[in-house]
Amino acid sequence: DKGEFRHYMLKEIYEQPKVIAACLEGRISETKVLTSCFGADSAFLKDIDNIHIVACGTSYHAGMVAKYWIEELANIPCTVEVASEYRYRKVAVPKNTLFLTLSQSGETADTLAALRMAKELNYLTTLAICNVPSSTLVRESDLTLLTNAGAEIGVASTKAFTTQLTALLITSIAIASEKGELNEKKQAGLVTALRSLPAYVDAAIKQDEAIKLVSEQFANKHNALFLGRGPMFPIALEGALKLKEISYIHAEAYPAGELKHGPLALVDETMPIITVAPNNQMLDKLKSNLQEVRARGGELYVFGAKETGFEEAEGIYYNEVPWVEEVLEPIVHTIPLQLLSYHVAVVKGTDVDQPRNLAKSVTVE
Ligand code: M6R
């Protein structure tokens, strides 16, 4: 039931504060992540020396964000690969490697095939972060962390993605702590930030009307370029996927530092460039990338906290996102990109919940 909402996708975007809270529920105390959320025996956490993440589509993008968290917080090498590549190659598995799959449905054929292959290899254990408790992926994995997002009907993944990110941050903190890489004070700080997450996401959703206005600019666009740096690069990829999936506008995402290595040639006054600005030491670098784009006439659509210092100007559309702790930026800054693609699709009159050629769950290769 869509209730007061015109589409399931919008309903699911608005559900995010609630389902993120459900994903956190019972998994954190005031000061720590409760390792019991990985099952009765969480001893494997301290044995992990390597992580292989395998997933498809939006779930793959969640994995890409997790790589930044895992390497930063736990100091453990982490690789991320799409399941349809992983399953058809010879994979070298270092000692004590965790095999981690991400899937909303738990029925994606390539992800399941990758898990079955991994079970024949020398992994420490297999963990699935999944939304459907009764799924094949959950049944066949050694360990599971459910995302608790509730049924997701819209083909475009929204709340499944942000709850995957939440579960991945919980996992990264748990591993970091068990590996002795995170002191109590730092862990308490991260957990306090996590507690604020539902409220931050709620504040980001409040920009809905402003984003709806901006979306009208995209009605006649044929292309769009998303730029990001650091963990905001996978968020740019996810923004581009969402836009192409439901509005059929060709969209690409690049790490902003790659602009000069090719995509800058595409930029002219017909090319909108969308970016989510982080509030960290990469901000100045991003700003200079954006100047390069502006100098070629590209129109900029910037989402960032007030603290980033962006303002509306000729050729620059600025939309505010709430200030959040840096570690949470990839989660909270996803919201404006979801809303943008949603409203662009509505403006273009496409079938938002059931885009052409796509199925909710890809159970064939
Ligand atoms: O159920 P899964 O998370 O395994 O699905 C993976 C992809 O098919 C899925 O994320 C797809 O990319 C979404 N429709 C994107 O919105």
Q: Please answer whether residues 63 and 55 qualify as being in contact, where contact means their C-beta atoms are separated by less than 8 angstroms.
A: yes
DSSP 224-260: EEEEE-TTHHHHHHHHHHHHHHHH--EEEEEEGGGGG
Measured from the Cα of 137, ligand 1's closest atom is 4
Q: What is the pLDDT of residue 288?
A: 85
**φ, ψ at 274 (rounded to 5°):** -110, 135
CA distance 196 to 178: 24
CA of 269 to the centre of ligand 1 (A): 33
Mutate to test the pocket of ligand 1, among 8, 56, 146, 245 (most ligand atoms within 8 A of CB): 56
pLDDT of residue 315: 87
Nearest ligand 1 atom to alpha carbon 111: 4
Q: Which of 101, 104, 129 to mutate to test the pocket of ligand 1 (most atoms within 8 A of CB)?
A: 104
The model's pLDDT over 211-223, given as tens digits with 9 standing for 90+, comes to 999 999 998 999 9
Taking residues 320-329, what's their average pLDDT? 94
pLDDT tens sequence across 248-291: 999 999 998 898 899 888 898 899 999 988 888 788 888 888 88
| Interval 232-237 mean pLDDT | 97
Atom of ligand 1 lying closest to residue 360 CA: 14
Is ipTM strictly over 0.95? yes
**What does the pLDDT look like over 304-323, one tens digit per residue?**
998 888 888 888 999 999 99
Q: For the chain, what's the residue count?
A: 365
Distance 102 CA to ligand 1 centre (A): 10
Residue 365 has pLDDT above 90, yes or no: no
Cβ-proximal residues to 38 (8 Å cutoff; 6+ apart), any chain: 44, 45, 127, 143, 145, 171, 174
Nearest protein Cα to ligand 1, atom 7: 57
Give 41 Cα–ligand 1 centroid separation in angstroms: 30
What's the Rg (C-alpha) of the chain? 20
Cα 86 to Cα 88: distance, rounded to the nearest angstrom: 6
C-alpha 61 to ligand 1 mean position (Å) = 10
Average pLDDT for the chain: 94
- In this structure, which residue's CA is closest to atom 9 in ligand 1? 57
Which tokens belong to 88?
């058809």
Ligand 1 pocket (Cβ < 6 Å) reads 56-59, 103-105, 108, 111, 155-157, 241, 245, 361-362
Name the residues annotated as catalytic: 360
- Decide if 210 contacts 318 (C-beta within 8 A): no
**pLDDT score at 231:** 95
Ligand 1 pocket, mutate which of 7, 13, 58 (most atoms under 8 A from CB): 58
Best mutation site among 60, 108, 241 for ligand 1 pocket (most ligand atoms within 8 Å of CB) = 108
Q: Measured from the CA of 108, which atom of ligand 1 is nearest?
A: 4
Give the dihedral of Cα atoms 122, 124, 130, 136; nearest 10 deg. 50
Residue 33: strand, helix, or coil? strand
**From atom 8 of ligand 1, which residue's Cα is the shortest distance away?**
57
Q: Are 19 and 163 in contact (CB under 8 A)?
A: yes
Residue 226 C-alpha to ligand 1 middle, in angstroms? Answer: 20
How many whole angstroms from 242 Cα to the centroid of ligand 1? 11
**Measured from the CA of 158, which atom of ligand 1 is nearest?**
16
- Residue 338 CB contacts under 8 Å (≥ 6 apart), including other chains: 13, 158, 242
Q: Please state the atom number of ligand 1 nearest to the C-alpha of residue 242.
A: 16
Q: What does the pLDDT read at residue 216?
A: 94
Cα separation, 43 vs 210, whole angstroms? 48
pLDDT digits (tens, 9 = 90+) for 9-54: 999 999 999 999 999 999 999 999 999 999 888 999 999 999 999 9
44 CB neighbour count, 10 Å cutoff: 19
Mean pLDDT of 115-121: 98
The backbone torsions φ and ψ at residue 309, rounded to the nearest 5 degrees and listed phi first, read 80, 10
pLDDT class for 127, splitting at 50, 70, 90? very high
CA of 151 to the centre of ligand 1 (A): 14
pTM, two decimals, is: 0.97
| Per-position DSSP letters for 149-208, written without gaps between them | -----SSS-SHHHHHHHHHHHHHHHHHHHHTT-S-HHHHHHHHHHHHHHHHHHHHHHTTH
Which residue in the block uniquely carries the two structure tokens 């020396």? Answer: 49
Going by alpha carbons, the residue nearest to atom 11 of ligand 1 is: 57
